[in-house]
Structure 1
Amino acid sequence: MSHDATNWAIKQRGLKPTTKIVLWHLCDRFNPDYGCFPSQDRLAHDCEISRSTLNDHLGQLEAVGLLRRVSRIDPVTKRQLPTRYILGFEPGFTPAKPTPCPESGHGHDAARKCSDAALDLAINAPAGALPCPESGHGSGARAVSDFCPEPCPENGQSRVRNPDTNLVREPLSKPVKEEEGAQAREAEFDRFFAELLGALGLDPAALPGWWQGWPARLHVRRWIDVLGLTEDRVIAVATASRRDHPEPPDGPKALDRSMARAAQREARAKAPAGAGAQHPDAQRRRKRDPSPRPSGDELAAFYAELVNSDRYLPANTISNTLRDAMLSRGLVTPERLRMRGVR
């Protein structure tokens, strides 16, 4: 892991969220001494996407000049090794410049080093033959795929499925509407986030590091989703905080205490009248006669639902006893616990 590499990834602008996550995980796997060459299975697992989707985003990163992929083949077995990813900040980096073949219009110049005879040999090679060490065509190119071992040299069939190929066409009205709704919500949040930065006196063109990227936006979303504050209330609290402090906060975490106090005040204001002025005897009777505590099954089911959801899970919420109770009842999986930060 390299902090310089991940910081470089966070500073890149104009990328889609998933594309930026792929770039961040690539940089997280970067070693200053040896470079970056994680397998596609590892990258897809880290990014929680399929390999075909991963290849799409890698192609986008290569197209905008943020990385260059270098295929490697074992000189002994002729099997394909994990791709070497050269990142944009590495010394001597030059972005890939694909040039289509003048005959068929497919591929790069580097992929056309094999002669026509070598390509014919790769296509017509008998089963068990080794692939061409330069182009990777032939029956031995099945090192990382379950697809046909003889990709066509004309269309350069990928070793993974094409995510745009949908053999069963279904109505797209609902997914399209959901995507449009998600885009509208994202645009509305962008407007709100820009208004928040203005209330805090921050320049969007020169934001501090802790205000950049999706981590800052996710932190701000928690004030709304977890604390229950409205966007107008968040802006009001931020404006009041800015009046009390001459310098803007260096990150959203600095406003957590102010947002929590505002949420508590709103909760007390919404409480029924007289709820906080009970007689001392009534309070003592309530302490002597507590309501029945939830059973172990109820506690395990409640926290399992929280772990299996995408809601915010504070650190140290799940104790070892509660973790073992959920696992013994089959309510969660060890993989999901690790993904949510529960050890």
Structure 2
Amino acid sequence: MSISALNEHLAKLEELRLIHRVRVHDPRTHKRQATRYILGFEDGFPQEPTPETGHGFCGTEEEQRADPTPESGDRAISGFSPIPSPDFAQSHLRNPETNLVREPLSKPVKEEEDAQARDADFDRFFAELLSALGFAANATLPAWWQGWPARTHVRRWIDDLGLSQKRIIETATETRADHPNPPDGPKALDRFMERTAQRDAQATIANAKSQKSKRQRKRVDPPRLSDDEKAAFYAKMVNADGFLPVSAINNSIRDLMLVRNLVTPERLRMRGVR
């Protein structure tokens, strides 16, 4: 429960004369101190409101009869009357609210800003497309290029064909070579945009196949042996008594074995290696 709501409940209890609140202020600093509460059945509960003032008196009967002292802190702390007045009946606390936390509407605002940014970006792209087709910046466009239908048609090249804005501009520029005059409407460019989308799709498939074949070749190719491994492998064949093909040992392999002292020249001659 908030402080303001609690204060409202206390005010209702005070109106029903079930409690009486005694507000105390420090006489030196004029700061409010802890409020005293007197229950209706306790001694010293204030009397009924008088017809003259419409209010009871603050404090207990003993405090009402005594003179204000710095110790009690019951005297006025400002130029206002020490007796409560109907003119100042309102509480200084804020009004209670049922929902104390108000969530900011950031998400709808952000979505609206994003939509505006996308529209502005498409407007720039559409103007660039018209320029690539040969339309002057301030020229009056043909009817088929005006309004939202033309923009919706162009958006289909992006959404349905998967073309980027850059590819659309490139394709529109290419059409000027065979058709210098600007088209009457975006529908005249559908065939060119579809061809571009097909070429891009075929290029993507070919590139994927090429990458796949490269990966397969890498997996098939065995790792190459080092010179030491080659020399040891063929030296084992030379030093053995098994069959040794004449073409098995070339000059480079022979030199590798001799440098590493894996075979002797006599053994090579014996095995028919020159």
**Shorter-normalised TM range:** 0.3 to 0.5
Q: Relative contact order (alpha carbons < 8 A, sep ≥ 6): 1 or 2 greater?
A: 2
Q: Which has the larger radius of gyration?
A: 2
